[in-house]
Chains A and B, each alone.
Chain A
Amino acid sequence: AQKVTQAQTEISVVEKEDVTLDCVYETRDTTYYLFWYKQPPSGELVFLIRRNSFDEQNEISGRYSWNFQKSTSSFNFTITASQVVDSAVYFCAPSAAGNKLTFGGGTRVLVKP
């Protein structure tokens, strides 16, 4: 079974600061995908990024970037130059067969103006 730990329950920053969210996971699968989803105050879950387990390149997409380290089973996510609209709960989730996502407990990000 997969397990996900998001050790930070809440992070508060001032607008324009960078925010890094930690995610550590456990899986027995040799190949898998890792996801980050965002849940804004409106409640709907929104896909952000996806990473496969066989490519450890760090990537940047707009203000989002992620750092995947297979050796430490970590998949950290950074928001650069945070904005108030980034305030949300962020979930890390590895996927297993059947596209079964195991979600972490989430990290609440509060961006203050």
Chain B
Amino acid sequence: DTAVSQTPKYLVTQMGNDKSIKCEQNLGHDTMYWYKQDSKKFLKIMFSYNNKELIINETVPNRFSPKSPDKAHLNLHINSLELGDSAVYFCASSQGAGNNEKLFFGSGTQLSVL
């Protein structure tokens, strides 16, 4: 069983489209995250939810909207996709939101905007 699963693994789309990436964790964790990794491998946090409540919201364009229907799911919806959105998006979870918690990552979604 995959602990943190995200779908799709690859997403190729045209500029201006709207797309969603889904993430589910079966670890019983309270906290979930979205990270973005650019082509130079820089990883940056985008959002974090704890018990379905938003606790971290970095300076991300409001075209990106996370949604957490329950603790086990954190989906990422992106409106009006731009070329610069091309990256690998990682979902992750941790037991809680304490700064000692280790993260469990999904396998990533490679988004290519043409």
Residues of A bordering B, CB below 8 Å? 32-33, 35, 37, 39, 42-47, 50, 52, 89, 91, 95-103, 105-106
Report whether A99 and B48 are in contact in the complex, using a CB–CB cutoff of 8 Å.
Answer: yes
Chain A residue nearest to B31 (CB atoms) is A99
B48 CB to nearest A CB, Å: 6
For chain B, which range describes its interface: under 10, 10 to 19, 20 to 34, or 35 or more residues? 20 to 34
> Which of B42, B43, B48, B104 is close to A47, meaning CB atoms less than 8 Å apart?
B104
Q: Is the CB of B56 within 8 A of A105?
A: no
Is the CB of B20 closer than 8 A to any CB of chain A? Answer: no
Which of B99, B103, B104, B107 is within 8 Å of A98, CB to CB? Answer: B99
B56's nearest neighbour on chain A, judged by CB, is A98
Chain A hits for B66, CB < 8 A: none
Which residues on B sit within 8 Å (CB–CB) of A98?
48, 50, 55-56, 97, 99
Q: A44-B108, A99-B94 are in contact. Are A89 and B41 (CB under 8 A)?
A: yes
* CA gap between A33 and B98 in the complex, in Å: 10
Tell me the minimal C-beta distance from A19 to chain B in angstroms: 18
Contact, CB under 8 Å: B44 / A103: yes
With A98-B48, A100-B45 in contact, do A44 and B105 touch (Cβ < 8 Å)? yes
B107 and A50 within 8 A (CB): no
Q: Judging by beta carbons under 8 Å apart, are B45 and A101 in contact?
A: yes
B62 at the interface (CB under 8 A from A): no
A32 to B101, CA, bound (A): 11
Contact of A97 among B41, B96, B99, B105 (CB under 8 A): B99
CB distance from A55 to the nearest CB of B (A): 12
